[in-house]
A and B are shown apart, each in its own frame.
Chain A
Amino acid sequence: MTPTNPKKRPDWARTILLLIISTVLLSPLCAVFWLSLRPRLGTDIAGPTFTNFVYIFRNTEVLLWLSNSLGVSLIAAVCSLIVAAPAGYVLSRARGRAVNAFSLTIFAVQSLPVIVFIIPLFVMFAQVSLVDSLAGVAIIYVATSISVACWMMAAYFDSIPKDLEEAAWIDGCSVFTTFVRIVLRNSLPGILSVMIFSFLLAWNDYLIALVFLRSDSQFTLPIGLQTFFQQNQTDWGPVMACAVIMMLPPILVFATLNRFFSVGGVGGSLAGR
């Protein structure tokens, strides 16, 4: 098919090629879904069932881990917005040497390996009994998301015309009131992107939870799932049912919000992979 051809027929060959490639690439994930719906060993149900899901909610602590994970991720998302939105506003609107230093610091923080500050943080947190506590983990999640969150907010604020603020200033609003009433109120997509970003970062984290959470009752889903997996290596059904629950929120977010937000921005939450 040449570009000069006016009648463009749908390129089904390409669809089939990509279908084959996707099948190969996504087969491990398909296996997770398939195994989660397979009947448990020793039962005589044929075909797909939800017995694995019923089993993990009744017989394991998955529900507790799920609520821990949801709680921590939501708190991290809200706090990271509260910290990042004003900072992003400064990055977007203020100029000067101090602001340059501030933006450089934010950039530098992002490029440091997490492991460097995790070790001393463990010692620090042990002294204020924040080890094995969800609050402690949430604080670190906010800190790890902060630099990207600031840049995302700043980029969004850049897209809001300054005329609105200037009008508000002339009407006698203070900088702070203008920021809250005018700028934030017009930034819903930016706010949502930052919250989703921070939520997913916390939801997907493994290393920080592994280091800081020690007891079963404090586990988030990734750590709980990993422990559960190590105890039930051969019994794949319940493990994979748990895995399906774990991967649903990120998949839903991407499937529904893909059109509304730049995937690049939200996708940044998984940076580090």
Chain B
Amino acid sequence: MTLGTAKIDKKGTRFGNTALSATQARRLTLAGLALPSILLMVAINGYPILFAAFQSMYDGSLLNWGEFVGFGNYAEVFRDPAFWRAVRFTVIFTMAGVLGSWAVGFGLALLMLKPFPGRALFRVLLLLPWIVPIVVSSMSWNWLLATPYSLLPQAVEAIGLGRVMFLADPTMAMITVCVFKVWISYPFMLMIMGGALQAIDKNVMEAAEVDGCSGLRRLRHMILPMTARTTYIAWILMVFFSVNDFPTIYLLTGGGPLSSTTTLIVMAYRTVFQDFLPGYGVAISFIVTIALVALSIFLLRQIRKSSLQ
């Protein structure tokens, strides 16, 4: 009964002195409900991050901290040419992942906007590259193009384009990894942009069509502006996904050949678990985190600006 009064109290009707303790009981219960998640986040996310912040200032191994070097690891990271190569490929990979998957996903969403036989089936089928576990898709791509005797290199040679080393040549490997990323991520864009397209008022589009507005002009002056907000949000999410992506690259090339496809996250992983330099690796991952936080604040501001107009 007391809790009932608490609720009524909130609505503005006073029910005597019991109301206060009832509100407190309600608050306490709600705090208790939130507690497990808070504990989990503190134990698995919060505390390790603090731990990592300290570890990035030491030069030891995984289980032995070694000596305190202050910001020495960070200074060393910024002097390391391998770091700047990884930054370069991270930017390439992210740009390709975001714009490529958006272009493919948005294109497919536009194609599937009008009803046609089998639309429901294609909607599910085209999501497959995203649904299938990454270990499986990387394996299928490996089968497709890893060795000179695989299907794709043989086909390319048969057309007369010569021998292309999809994973063995550094430049080709960079292109292949980016294409693989686009292939994995386009369904995400297809879902998000498909939703945005369906939210557009059909009458407006039909009115424009009747008025003789061509398809391209409708796309540029109506569809793109009307879906701009969704596009920005999808881009931001994909920037995060791409920068933090580890398995896509690691399973296809392992970061090679000659570290050409090493992004910052792959570099951090290899530094810690293959070179056994946790301080250095953690420093790299912190730099990535800080860059991402800064970038997301900047991008969120851009969204606010664009939605104000």
Q: Which residues in A have some Cβ–Cβ distance to B below 8 Å?
A: 2-4, 10-12, 14-15, 17-19, 21-22, 25-29, 31-32, 35, 82-84, 86-87, 89-90, 93-94, 98, 102, 105-106, 109, 111-117, 119-124, 126, 139-140, 142-143, 146, 150, 166, 169-176, 179, 203-204, 206-207, 211, 222, 225-226, 229, 236, 239-240, 243, 246-247, 250-251, 254-255, 258, 263-264, 267, 270-273
Contacts and interface: CB of A to CB of B under 8 A. Distances in A.
Contacts of B240: 111
With most chain B CB atoms within 10 A of its CB, the pick from A27, A120, A203 is A120
Contacts of A123: 51, 55, 62-63, 278
Which label, helix, strand, loop or mixed, suits the secondary structure of the A interface?
helix
A118 B20 CA distance: 44
Given A4-B210, A87-B36, A270 B116 contact: no
Contact of B116 (A15, A31, A87): A15
A142 B40 contact: yes
Contacts of A166: 7
A169 B143 CA distance: 61
| Secondary structure call for the B interface | helix
B37 A119 contact: no
Contacts of B47: 120, 124
Given A119-B272, A206-B135, A15 B140 contact: no
Give the 6 A-B residue pairs with the shortest CB-CB distance, closest first.
A86-B33, A143-B44, A87-B37, A28-B140, A120-B51, A11-B116
Given A173-B3, A255-B124, A273-B245, A117 B49 contact: yes
Contact of A207 (B129, B130, B136, B246): B246
A223 to B, nearest CB: 8
Interface string B42-54: 0111011101100
A23 to B, nearest CB: 10
Given A117-B45, A122-B62, A271-B241, A90 B30 contact: yes
Contacts of B268: 115
A11 B139 contact: no
B132 A15 contact: no
Contacts of A179: 33
Contact of A116 (B32, B52, B247): B52
Interface in B277-291: 278, 281-282, 285-286, 288-289
Contact of A83 (B25, B37, B114, B125): B37
A90 B241 contact: no
Contact of B132 (A119, A150, A251): A251
A141 to B, nearest CB: 10
A139 B62 CA distance: 21
B235 to A, nearest CB: 14
Contacts of B247: 206-207
A250 B187 CA distance: 15
Contacts, number: 266
A84 to B, nearest CB: 7
Interface string B223-240: 000000000000001001
Contacts of A124: 47-48, 51
A98 B27 CA distance: 11
A123 B44 CA distance: 12
A255 to B, nearest CB: 6
B112 interface: yes
A211 B273 contact: yes
B65 to A, nearest CB: 9
23 contacts: A14-B114, A15-B116, A18-B122, A31-B143, A84-B37, A106-B37, A111-B293, A113-B289, A114-B246, A116-B49, A117-B52, A119-B282, A120-B49, A139-B44, A174-B29, A225-B135, A229-B139, A246-B135, A247-B131, A250-B131, A251-B132, A264-B191, A270-B131
Nearest to B104: A25
Contacts of B185: 273
Nearest to A17: B111
A270 B190 CA distance: 14
A223 B11 CA distance: 55
